[in-house]
Amino acid sequence: MQSSKQLKPPVTETYDSLLAPGQSLNSVTTKISDLILFPVLKTPVGWIVGFVAAGLLLMLYLYSLAALFTYGIGIWGINIPVAWGFDIINFVWWIGIGHAGTLISAILLLFRQDWRTSINRAAEAMTIFAVACAGIYPLIHTGRPWLDYWFLPYPSTLGMWPQFRSPLEWDVFAISTYATVSVLFWFVGLVPDLATLRDRSTSPIAKKLYGLFALGWRGAAKHWQRYEVASLLLAGLSTPLVLSVHSIISFDFAVAQLPGWHVTVFPPYFVAGAVYCGFAMVIVLMIPIRKWFGLEGLITMKHFDVMSKVMLASGMIVTYGYFGEIFYAWYSSSIYEYYLIVNRFTGPYAWSYWALILFNVLIPQALWSKKLRQNLPVLFFVSIAINIGMWFERWVIIVMSLHRDFLPSSWAAYTPTFYDWSTFIGSFGLFFVLFLLFIRFIPMIAIFEVRDLVHKTTAHPAKHEESNHTGA
């Protein structure tokens, strides 16, 4: 990393393969571990600048939380009827981002998709950090976060017992399970690479630390066999979680009677939206990382092409969801459902609905074109647009449905305050601090999985073809 400037060869893009030509077992290990294994004092300036910037945002976040705990949720813009505002929008947005990591690591493992290998590690890390950012919102949203343990069912002398019919209670279990399984899956996948770092690092402290977390991995056949079983089981466990977590979040809205929330197609549409936004975030993170660290040989244009296709497919499902909301609201002939659509199209927040359509429906249509899919600046722009669009989607669903419900006498407007914004922007600080620490100290690409891919493509090209059959 420190010497990447003088060493960087001219970039030749690979379009039809998951590895650029000329990769060997040794070059892969050297390339990835050299990005980490150098003295702390030689950390590049770029990383330090990024870390300081992210750290400042984190400070803003901590300041906002301190203010919240001191003064209460009155410092936010929420009111009655708009009792859910930025907190829940950001919660749903962040947790949606996490979904791509789980999809890449679990579902694509089960489907034996080789294109996951170079991107799964970073995507899983993104998942865990995004879930951390997400999980904080519902906890602070309660207003008295020191009482959040009341969510848990335990025999309490207070006679407190959670309402198990409420999807908000299901969230407690869904998200904590999701976070636990994601961390376990990520860590299990890290063990062989941590052992590689232990063996390659020259600093005694690094050797000790990596060795500690490598759990005595020696690369014995028995270790590998257990590793394969464990990762397959964890993939099996994670797969339903990809669907269940966001489905339960959609139930938070859909089991209510409010027009705009009570929509039966919400569960798959939320899951698709999560995958959509999550893949967009993976691309937003991967394009600069790949360039800065010279990873063009390991993350090829083929990866971006496949990810764009997943994004396009999930984007079309999301678009179908928007269509379903409008069509069935009209078809229902219920005046409340119908008014919801009128309000979205022409109400005081109509601009945000049209922004959603622009960012989430119109701009991503560019992905139909293979040429545009393989143009990284365009892809970066489209992915940013999707991230913004998916934030607007949650804004539209939450704020626009709540602010005008059944009774016109209870209608109200919602305006986010400084603290709403600072709690949102600050959460990027938490995310990027964690992510920068990750790329500094942990191999951001799974070394042994890419080595396995090198082995398969060079030693047994025919066999590799065969294992790559299930299709994208």
Closest CA to 93 of 347, 366, 397: 397
Q: Kindly state whether residue 361 participates in binding other proteins, applying the rule CB under 8 A.
A: no
Structural tokens at position 300 = 């090829």
Closer to other proteins by CB, 247 or 343: give it: 247
Binding test (CB under 8 A) with other proteins, winner from 88, 97, 125, 243: 243
Burial group, residue 464, by CB count within 10 angstroms (0-12, 13-18, 19+): middle
Closer to other proteins by CB, 42 or 469: give it: 469
Q: Kindly state whether residue 465 participates in binding other proteins, applying the rule CB under 8 A.
A: yes
What residues numbered 272-331 form the site for other proteins, per CB under 8 A? 316, 320, 323-325, 327-328, 331
Burial group, residue 277, by CB count within 10 angstroms (0-12, 13-18, 19+): buried
Binding test (CB under 8 A) with other proteins, winner from 247, 343, 383, 422: 247
Stretch that binds other proteins, among 34-42, 243-251, 279-287, 413-421 (CB under 8 A): 243-251
Contact 122, 289 (CB under 8 A): yes
Burial group, residue 423, by CB count within 10 angstroms (0-12, 13-18, 19+): buried
CA distance 281 to 286: 8
Stretch that binds other proteins, among 122-130, 248-256, 273-281, 432-440 (CB under 8 A): 248-256
Contact 457, 75 (CB under 8 A): no
CA distance 204 to 275: 41
Q: Kindly state whether residue 262 participates in binding other proteins, applying the rule CB under 8 A.
A: yes
Binding test (CB under 8 A) with other proteins, winner from 50, 96, 267, 315: 267
Number of residues that bind other proteins (CB under 8 A): 36
Closest CA to 126 of 444, 467, 472: 444
Stretch that binds other proteins, among 84-92, 144-152, 261-269, 405-413 (CB under 8 A): 261-269
Closest CA to 92 of 327, 392, 321: 392
Binding test (CB under 8 A) with other proteins, winner from 137, 251, 279, 304: 251
CA distance 314 to 360: 11
Q: Kindly state whether residue 371 participates in binding other proteins, applying the rule CB under 8 A.
A: no
* Torsion sign, CA atoms 312, 285, 133, 391: negative
CA distance 132 to 306: 27
CB atoms under 10 Å from CB of 327, counted, come to: 11
Binding test (CB under 8 A) with other proteins, winner from 217, 266, 419, 431: 266
Q: Nearest approach, Cβ of 255 to other proteins (angstroms)?
A: 4
Contacts of residue 246, Cβ cutoff 8 Å, sequence gap at least 6: 95, 96, 99, 267, 270, 271, 273, 274
Q: Kindly state whether residue 265 participates in binding other proteins, applying the rule CB under 8 A.
A: yes
Q: Kindly state whether residue 353 participates in binding other proteins, applying the rule CB under 8 A.
A: no
Q: Nearest approach, Cβ of 396 to other proteins (angstroms)?
A: 16
Q: Kindly state whether residue 264 participates in binding other proteins, applying the rule CB under 8 A.
A: yes
CA distance 231 to 106: 9
Site string for other proteins, 159-178 (x = CB under 8 A): ------x-------------
Q: Nearest approach, Cβ of 366 to other proteins (angstroms)?
A: 14
What residues numbered 91-150 form the site for other proteins, per CB under 8 A? 111
Stretch that binds other proteins, among 254-262, 296-304, 383-391, 400-408 (CB under 8 A): 254-262
Closer to other proteins by CB, 300 or 427: give it: 300
CA distance 443 to 205: 17
Closer to other proteins by CB, 252 or 420: give it: 252
Q: Kindly state whether residue 17 participates in binding other proteins, applying the rule CB under 8 A.
A: no
Q: Which residues bind other proteins (CB under 8 A)?
A: 111, 165, 243, 247, 251, 254-257, 262-268, 316, 320, 323-325, 327-328, 331-334, 368, 462-463, 465-466, 469-472
